């Protein structure tokens, strides 16, 4: 086996590990919001990940990013460190993790649409058809589950997808100037002046009385979803190639289903699986169609959380 082939295989493995980590975000959040307010959960998870990021950057003696990137880092921080986690947590208070898995299955489409707008690409018509079909399937699923109306949980999740798409597209542009792990680390460090005081203010009055499962959910989203998952995912993309490794992201909704059934005790119906499979199919078509024109953008690596 050649060195190049071994490197690609390792890249696929790392990408798969990163995808599985991100697939656990919704089930873990669902566990955490049982006892943590969404604002407290967001502040605490961001503070924990920010402290870890600061330690790593100091130990590795990484230089401060150029001033020209600070505004972009700040905007990315608002999206991925605060708005997205808050909206996602609010959604998980109201709907099951498996339900959110279907809605989030269309997130790569949202990220691609934002990237197309930012880069002024002109994808083929099939890209737009597949993207619109995927969005329509997600809305149809939400309406079906809500008895013909969109629930407040769906609205929060849709908003989370929109915010994440913008944040991931912005952070994707930053990867042209620094490694992906360093981007997320600086974003989290930049959030510390907000996340630390907010974590102190929103911490539950009696944390000792909170059961173990919500704490485990909090630690998971803080250390893995918010931070470590990007290390494996970004490294996998770099070693195995963005176009190839990013395809494992299509499995993420099904990983979420399995973990939701195992840890949240949710019942996964055939309708949920069928809608997820249909959404994944549209994502695959839109991704391949866009890739034929230009290579997939680096920001797609961040769309898995």
Classify 51 as helix, strand or coil. helix
- pLDDT score at 223: 95
Taking a C-beta distance cutoff of 8 angstroms, is the pair 169, 118 a contact?
yes
Q: What is the pLDDT of residues 91-113, one digit of tens each?
A: 999 999 999 999 998 887 787 78
Rounded Cα gap, residues 299 and 168, in angstroms: 6
Crossing angle (nearest 10°) for helices 180-202 and 152-174:
140
Going residue by residue through the chain, which has 305 residues, state the pLDDT in tens, using 9 for 90 and above: 566 678 888 888 988 998 899 999 999 999 999 999 999 999 999 999 999 999 999 999 999 999 999 999 999 999 999 999 999 999 999 999 999 999 998 887 787 788 777 767 777 888 888 888 988 999 999 998 888 888 999 999 999 999 988 887 787 778 778 888 898 999 999 999 999 999 999 999 889 999 999 999 999 999 999 999 888 887 887 777 665 666 787 789 999 999 999 999 999 999 999 999 999 998 888 777 765 444 444 444 444 45
Q: How far apart are CA 54 and CA 179, in angstroms?
A: 16
Give the Cα separation of 98 and 157 in Å (integer).
12
Query: How far apart (Å, rounded) are the C-alpha atoms in residues 61 and 254?
Result: 39
Residue ranges per domain, the chain? 3-302
- Please enumerate in sequence order all residues whose Cβ is within 8 A of that of 227, keeping only pairs 6 or more positions apart, or say none: 49, 52, 53, 184, 185, 188
CB 153 within 8 A of CB 99: yes
Q: Which two tokens stand for residue 84?
A: 């997205």
Among residues 136, 214, 225, 240, the alpha carbon closest in space to that of 184 is found at 225
User: What pLDDT digit, counting tens, does each position of 157-216 carry?
Assistant: 999 999 988 887 787 778 778 888 898 999 999 999 999 999 999 999 889 999 999 999
d(CA 104, CA 108): 8
pTM of structure: 0.87
The pair of structure tokens assigned to 253 is 């909704």
């Amino acid at each position: 086996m050649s060195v190049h082939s071994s490197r690609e295989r390792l890249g696929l493995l790392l990408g798969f590990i990163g995808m599985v980590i991100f697939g656990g975000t919704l089930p873990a959040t669902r566990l955490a919001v049982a006892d943590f307010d969404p604002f407290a959960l967001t502040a605490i998870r961001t503070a924990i990940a920010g402290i870890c990021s600061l330690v790593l950057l100091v130990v590795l003696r990484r230089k401060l990013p150029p001033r020209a990137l600070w505004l972009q880092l700040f905007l990315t921080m608002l999206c991925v460190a605060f708005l997205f986690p808050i909206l996602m947590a609010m959604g998980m208070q109201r709907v099951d993790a498996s339900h959110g898995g279907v809605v989030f299955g269309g997130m790569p489409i949202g990220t691609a649409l934002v990237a197309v707008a930012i880069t002024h690409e002109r994808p083929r018509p099939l890209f737009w058809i597949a993207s619109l079909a995927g969005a329509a399937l997600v809305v149809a699923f939400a309406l079906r589950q809500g008895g013909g109306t969109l629930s407040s949980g769906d609205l929060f999740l849709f908003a989370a997808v929109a915010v994440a798409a913008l944040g991931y597209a912005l952070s994707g542009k930053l990867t042209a100037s620094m490694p992906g792990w360093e981007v997320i680390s600086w974003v989290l460090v930049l959030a510390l002046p907000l996340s630390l005081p907010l974590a102190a203010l929103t911490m539950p009055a009696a944390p000792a009385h909170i059961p173990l499962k919500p704490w485990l959910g909090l630690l998971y989203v803080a250390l893995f979803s918010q931070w470590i998952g990007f290390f494996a995912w970004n490294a996998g993309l770099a070693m195995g190639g963005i176009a190839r490794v990013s395809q494992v992201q299509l499995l993420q909704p099904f990983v979420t289903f399995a973990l939701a059934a195992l840890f949240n005790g949710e019942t996964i119906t055939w309708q949920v699986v069928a809608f997820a499979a249909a959404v994944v199919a549209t994502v695959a078509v839109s991704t391949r169609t866009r890739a034929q024109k230009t290579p997939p953008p680096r920001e797609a690596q961040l769309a898995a959380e």
